[in-house]
Structure 1
Amino acid sequence: MEERFNLIKDKNLLVIGLGKTGISVIKKLLDLCLSITGIDNNPELNLEDAFGEYPYTGRNNLKIILGKDISVEKEVIKSADLVIVSPGVPDNVSIVKLALENKISVWSELELAWRLLSKEEQNRTIAVTGTNGKTTVVTLIGRIFNDSGKNCIVCGNVGLPLIDTINTESNSNSLKKDLIRVIEVSSFQLEKTYKFKPHISVILNITSDHIDRHETFENYGDLKLKLLANQNKDDWSVINIDDQYINKKIKAISEKKNNLPEIVKFSLEPKDDANLFYRDKHISYRIEGSSGEIDIKGSFLKGRHNISNIMASIAPAVLMDINKKSIEKTIKNFKPLDHRMEYLGFIKNIRCFNDSKSTNPDATSVAINDFGKEITLIMGGKDKNMDFSGLIQILNKKVKNLILIGETAPRIYGLAMGSCHDYKIYKCKTFEAAVKKGFEVAGPGEVLMLSPACASMDMFRDYKERGDRFKNLVTSKK
């Protein structure tokens, strides 16, 4: 066994949260650890569904605890050498507090997996964060690399957890030595990272989100910027200089930290300090002695936000010497992902769009920005204590009918009614009623759009279920 695995050899691991990430940690590391205890506060968690075909029963070094019991938690903490928290587990849950009080190291799965990568593997990592656009960008980067003949996998907050890409003697897989890992990283994952240091970091944008968890926008922004905290002059950071918050924070960081990564800047405008910029349906780039233009005319990715996403995807490819023609071909063939301004068709003389992935106000602002005043907008969902004031100001320019659903409906209704608005507002108790109302009030040739600006968990399992329900309801009208 390689020396890096001494980190967990003969250790007792406590895994908190048995969703996809927690289960992956157990499956990957059970044969390497002295023991693993997995704990989840859901007493009705279906372990057979969670573990799938993995033989979790009859393992002497695996213990699973379901349900919340503080006395059990106190007992479990006594034997733990290292605690791994799943992304959905916040600091304020009792068992995490107990671990911290007992000075037991608490890491995210991202931190653990990072430390189990070899130095060579760490040098082939690209990590992407941002409030919006992460999944589109990591998917496009992965496609660019794989289409060019490179061996690349997209992982992290989308698809496989990073831990699943680790090769171990006891759990070998087909992942090759030259694998490039493109990692989507959320603020939740970054909470418990300490040595995570991607070779190329990409920061897309930072706007208000997850304030219910992080309490303030400043806390949230600082977590996003942890992505480059450990990087040095041998690394690269790709940043969006159209984002004023990112610009301000990078300048402040550079005044405090001498050993910064090389900064690659992208912008929608041809600014003097931009390494990539957009002009006349082309992306111009000048990075590390390489320069050129990439034609994006005819790309399926529409809207200015997607031009930014394309630039953020081109930069790592240029840095890692991907052929320009290959990059261009992939971009032109790449189609938008489901639930991201997904065009559903011209139904009952109305253009219908599923943008269920817009789970914060800024994402919805971006979604409606490329339309005229023609939108019937279905909006609302779980309240994450976000600031809707900026979005409310934009609605008057783009929206003819606002249909509100979910937990946030009363709050958004109050903000809209208190603004100078000229659109009609409807509140619906069910999702089905909202879609029905949308078809009733949208005019011929106009737009019916689901772009909730909120998370989905008040009414649905996740944004995918919400988007799928919308698609089914809309397409049933054909």
Structure 2
Amino acid sequence: MSLTFIIGLGISGMGAARLLNAEGRKVIIFEQKKDERIYEIKKELEKEGIQVEIGEELAIETFIRFQKEIQEIIISPGVEWDHQTLNQLRDLNFTVKGEMSLAWQRLNCIPWIGITGTNGKTTVTYLLNHILESNGIKAPMGGNVGIAASEVARKFKCNPNNSLDWVIMEMSSYQIEASSEISPKIGIWTNLSPDHLERHKTLEKYRKIKRGLIEKSEIRIFNWDDIDLRSNKEDMPSGIWVSTKEKGTKENKIKVWVNSEGMIVNDGLSIFHSSTSNLIGEHNLQNILLVTATALEIGLCPREIEQGLKTFPGVPHRLEKIGEINGIEVFNDSKATNFDAAKVGISAIKSPSIVLAGGQQKKGDPSNWLNELQRRATGIVLFGKGAHSLHELIKSSGFSNEVICCESLANAVKLGIEMGLRYKAKAIILSPACASFDQYKNFEERGDHFRELIGPSLTIKGQI
């Protein structure tokens, strides 16, 4: 029997293994990490008949001994596409592909919506899924939202009665890079700012990867309000543009925009008011316009879109209001894993605010984030691996209010509440501006821990 190697035991690796196992394929998963959680997953998968090898290095020797059996090698998004060992495998004519390629091979009979961008793509994915599903359109979401694309494919393939109308996939640069054959019916590009440069090295390479997905899309939807997308318009393929600020010109046509009365306008016709949704912040208005343009292309009428917007509960960990502490609003924005995402969240809430930030610091330009802290934060609590370097960054920017460093999120929550009460802040926000991997397996686990820690202090609970 031919053999498939899967590298990485995260959500994507498990999804790929279960899909291939359901198809009767022989699978081995390699995982370099050794911790309690990994061993628990190993036991779970081995009960399903999936072989898991822990502690295996990503080295050419590991694969050579299975050379005659290997059919293909599937990598998780966390594995660098141009890793030296993967390049050696390609030179030896092994087939190497990303986990999302498996889903594409099995689901390309269904129209795809591919959503990419530096920030906002998760909100767009959740919101579009909600609007379509609430109008009777079967459109499961997967990919970078924490649901493996291959898991969506497995559920579809294992249930003959599970007919789908659309597939919605949030796609990170890692996933696009490893699955370049994906050609969505609709491609959405939310924005672009420096991120993941520790892996992609340059903004130009990062932009090129994102653009690759959009170029392969049949219908393309762009955010005119994003400076990078707008300034690179001449290099972009033709598409639909949306804006919260401009109605466009003959040369730069904006199809969906917001007029001075707050009405969303489509091709010159007012369709509904922008306040229909409870999502706060200008960035979320941009997300709403992207989703509205997409839903209109799919065939929904304005009334159906408006009703979906009214009932959308929001996205967990993305500017999620948890409740209040003596009138101070509390927000979980654990999904803000870079400076630009954190800046957007801080600008959307009431000020003065207390900001809890920290974790595994990424490369990127912090200037806009620092400016927003200066304008809106009355105090900052820093935690985790990046706390002290962030402290130096903030202090060197001229920030004059209180900044405290501590080791853990638990300490940060305690100190943040005390600071918020002392300074009569209007909001407390977990807005890390960093990845979570120094102390958590992902931003979801970090956000869940924040909810757990802050819960006992809440005097008014929000919708969680």
Using the size of structure 2 for normalisation, the TM-score is 0.88
Q: Is the 8 A contact 2:189 2:214 kept in 1?
A: no
Aligned equivalent of 1:398, options 359, 367, 376: 376
SS at match of 1:30: helix
SS at match of 1:297: helix
C-alpha distance after superposition, 1:204-227 (max 9, x if no partner): 011122222222222222222221
SS at match of 1:334: coil
Further displaced range: 263-272 or 442-451 = 442-451
Counterpart for residue 356 of structure 2? 378
Separation in structure 1 between the aligned mates of residue 451 and residue 70 of structure 2, nearest angstrom: 46
* Cα distance, 1:344 vs structure 2: 2.5
Instruction: Let me know the Cα RMSD of the aligned residues.
Output: 2.6
Give yes or no for the alignment of 1:339 onto 2:312: no
Separation in structure 2 between the aligned mates of residue 202 and residue 194 of structure 1, nearest angstrom: 16
Give yes or no for the alignment of 1:229 onto 2:215: yes
Counterpart for residue 159 of structure 2? 173
Letter aligned with residue 80 of structure 1? I
Aligned equivalent of 1:274, options 213, 230, 254: 254
Identity fraction in percent: 27
SS at match of 2:447: helix
Separation in structure 2 between the aligned mates of residue 327 and residue 168 of structure 1, nearest angstrom: 27
Tell me: CA distance 1:27–1:433, structure 2 relative to 1, closer, same or farther (3 Å): closer
SS at match of 2:342: helix
Aligned pairs for 1:280-291 (under 5 A) are 280-286=261-267, 291=269
Further displaced range: 144-153 or 24-33 = 24-33
* Cα distance, 1:321 vs structure 2: 0.8
Give yes or no for the alignment of 1:74 onto 2:58: no
SS at match of 1:476: helix
Aligned equivalent of 2:175, options 189, 193, 196: 189
Q: Is the 8 A contact 2:353 2:425 kept in 1?
A: no
Letter aligned with residue 22 of structure 1? G
Tell me: CA distance 1:394–1:68, structure 2 relative to 1, closer, same or farther (3 Å): same
* Cα distance, 1:397 vs structure 2: 0.9
Separation in structure 1 between the aligned mates of residue 440 and residue 216 of structure 2, nearest angstrom: 37
Give yes or no for the alignment of 1:264 onto 2:252: no
Counterpart for residue 108 of structure 1? 98
Count of paired positions:
448
Give yes or no for the alignment of 1:367 onto 2:345: yes
Gaps of 5+ in 2: 459-464
Further displaced range: 90-99 or 176-185 = 90-99
Letter aligned with residue 67 of structure 1? G
Separation in structure 1 between the aligned mates of residue 152 and residue 378 of structure 2, nearest angstrom: 48
Separation in structure 2 between the aligned mates of residue 462 and residue 196 of structure 1, nearest angstrom: 26
Q: Is the 8 A contact 1:371 1:398 kept in 2?
A: no
Counterpart for residue 116 of structure 2? 129
Letter aligned with residue 123 of structure 2? T
Counterpart for residue 138 of structure 2? 151
Separation in structure 2 between the aligned mates of residue 51 and residue 330 of structure 1, nearest angstrom: 41
Give yes or no for the alignment of 1:322 onto 2:300: yes
SS at match of 1:166: helix
Further displaced range: 140-149 or 365-374 = 365-374
Separation in structure 2 between the aligned mates of residue 46 and residue 371 of structure 1, nearest angstrom: 38
Separation in structure 1 between the aligned mates of residue 378 and residue 87 of structure 2, nearest angstrom: 48
Counterpart for residue 245 of structure 1? 228
SS at match of 1:196: coil
Further displaced range: 217-226 or 194-203 = 217-226
SS at match of 1:218: helix
Q: Is the 8 A contact 1:372 1:397 kept in 2?
A: no
